[in-house]
Amino acid sequence: MTSMKRLGLAALFAIGVGLFTSSPARAQEGEDWGTIDLGATSAEPGASGQATPTNVSFPDSSEAGQYWVEPYSGDLSMTCQGLRPHTTYNTSVGRKMKTGRDGTLQGVMRKHFEVWWWFDDVTGRWIRRDPFFYVSVERAQGSRDLVLIGAYYVDDSNGPPPAR
């Protein structure tokens, strides 16, 4: 098997593991969304992690042609254990972080993300695109393997965009 095929299969497996090992959290404005567990991939099977978005706000939505954009903003805190000691990782908290000798990472950062709707001219309905907010940790050097992944299901409490 070529290395590109292996990489593709590893990425597909990692996303599947993350989606099935994470329990979806429902989004509600002004509240903490709860904590999800991050699923480990085969790159570092002994790793584990948790992610918690807090202080979530929903700024005004806007229409952009065929799309409707719903922005979200919140503080994302992340704690990970069982990683390789003294290794640098890219994280969903928006920066590279290096583990100490105990193999842990911890960080908090303000995050902005969006849920997109697409207007289907054939059915005359709005269709929500990917309703997940993904949280991940990957190696920053060498192989850049995905190590931990999880996802929040963003519940659209406002319903679909206005009718056209």
Collapsing DSSP to helix, strand or coil, 99 comes out as coil
In sequence order, the 6+-apart residues with CB closer than 8 A to the CB of 111 are 53, 73, 74, 75, 76, 92, 93, 94
- What is the reported pLDDT for 163? 59
Say what the pLDDT of residue 89 is: 94
Q: Note the pLDDT of residue 49.
A: 95
Q: How much is the pLDDT for 17?
A: 41
- pLDDT at position 148 is 94
- Among 10, 71, 73, 77, CA closest to 38: 77
Name the nearest CA neighbour of 40 among 150, 153, 143, 133: 150
Task: Confirm if 91 and 97 have CB atoms less than 8 A apart.
Answer: yes
Instruction: Give the pLDDT of residue 139.
Output: 92
The neighbouring-strand residues paired with 73 are 57, 112
What's the pLDDT score for residue 116?
76
Is the full-model pTM beyond 0.85?
no
What pLDDT does residue 104 have? 95
Specify the pLDDT at position 56: 78
Please, what are the averages of pLDDT over each run of 10 residues along the chain (164 residues)?
44 42 45 82 95 79 72 85 94 85 89 77 79 84 88 65 60
